[in-house]
Structure 1
Amino acid sequence: MTADPVLARRLARALASLRGLAVGDALGSQFFLPANHPARERRELPPGVWRWTDDTEMACSVLAVLVEHGRVDQDALARSFAGHHDPDRGYGAGVSRMLRSVRDGVDWRELASALFGGQGSWGNGAAMRIAPLGAWYADDPEQATHQAEISAYTTHQHREAVAGAMAVAAAAALTADPERRLGPEELLDAVVELVPRSAVQAGLRRARGMLDYGDAATVAAVLGCGRRTSAHDTVPFALWAAARNPGDYPEAVWTTARAGGDVDTTCAIAGGVVAAAEAGAPPAEWLERTEPLPEWAPGSAG
């Protein structure tokens, strides 16, 4: 643990968010199994140890780079993504190919910019891993969005993917700051102001207007819930669920999970944002059921 009190506070906030992200990711991943669908509907915890996915593995790299460099170093981040890439963690085929190539010495800039005919990926991968970075920069939300933008480019260079990462980082930063204590409307308004004009921003405006809706399925039908795995189909709904349930991790995650879609990713985003606040930690039982973080990750007990 660092002796610098500012860095120590940043790390503590980021680790809290990382744990929330990992639990949401691991629990959400259980609901891809048809046998667990009834448990999701009844809001019952599935049995066994919950295994996290690429969302958590990549989030660990983000935090490891912040701890080592104090900011996002793109080359170090790309190396960490590639060096720790476990293809059995649910990575998309395109990202897996890219990370294998990075490991073989190909420049990440060339690979990321070439995806999807040179447009870059607009997937939700840059957003799913970024909440701990937002918590790290709770004292500076503008810097959180800037660093999130930088981090996104290592794998996702489409405007929507970048905006999605910026939105999640902003939400986590604003949530982690105990001095702000923003209500749901104020939180989403502040995030909208920190995100560039995009489909993600438009979705966040719609999410803000639906905060009084109690049925997650109805909201997901409007905003999307990650079924297309795009940033703009994922981030607005996940942040809607997080904003509606400040300080209540179980309610935020169950609300998110019951809508279906890309459940591990939406729950990772919502969980990472809510857990960025001290009052939003996951229940102890949920933490115990979640697979430990990898041994190389900051804060790992391994």
Structure 2
Amino acid sequence: MAKFPFSAIVGQDEMKQALLIAAVDPSIGGVMVFGDRGTGKSTAARALASLLPPITAHENCPYGGSKEDALAYPDVCGGGPLRKRAVPFVDLPLGATEDRVIGSLDLEKALRSGEKGFEPGLLAKAHRGFLYIDEINLLEDHLVDLLLDVAASGENVVEREGLSVRHPAKFVLIGSGNPEEGELRPQLLDRFGLSVEVRTPEDIETRVSIMRLVAANERDPDAFTAQWAGEDEKILKQIARGKAKLAKLETGEDILIDAAHLCMAVGADGLRGELTLMRAARAFAALEGARKVKREHLIAVAPSALRHRLRRDVLDETGSTVRITRALQELFG
């Protein structure tokens, strides 16, 4: 069945914006999506992955490695002719063991030939694509920590049972969850680049529109995909232009000062807030086709870059988003 087109997703603008920013600059550090069930969290992530152009990879490389990967990791990235393949989208199930995630000893090879070999895990399959974890707040903390480490470094190192293997593992980490089922620990949540809140639509028009679109997709998915192909193509070109523009963007001293003022005003822990805020603002400016980062870009990404990094204020029990909105108003009008 055809994937639901990204451009056909109604509402959830902040979630779509965060995913596009992560597609332009994967170094952002992943996207955490908290919200109600059935609000299109996984649908949006899958739609974006299927929208992206295929990658070019060596046929015999179990990691979907590029030419650069084959040079950097000659021991693990097999050669062979270059072939086009779809951008990986890997679901990490809640019950996954550490061995399945990071890889393990290839028992079949060990029994057959007596030689130690490595069986790549889910991190290897996700290389150059997306790793999606539904209900990440229910995943064991040590696995979340491991995933964030690999996502930040772009490399998976496995040392066990006499094996020592390092392989490329560059992916966009997307986690989703329902706050009613438990929050992610603040230390782990802080390491995600962007955090997005999604809510069930509260207006009749949006709900009816979603029902119509889903029904049309179920009735004839190929025709529905074709109907939205033009809009998806526009988004694809926007991402490509954004990637090309990212390195050339100027970030003025005034924007850096704005970012520091904002992080101090909302009480963001550490300096990761400023750094992520600037990366996100740059990626958003690139998506918008701007020549330099402006205050409006900073304001647009501030909630998703900062809401999961605020210190608890016993004198102010308002939500993180409200505190950020209030600070933006006070600082910038």
TM-score of the pair, normalised by structure 2: 0.28
Higher helix share: 1
**If you compute each CA radius of gyration, which structure gives the higher value, 1 or 2?**
2
**Greater share of strand residues, 1 or 2?**
2
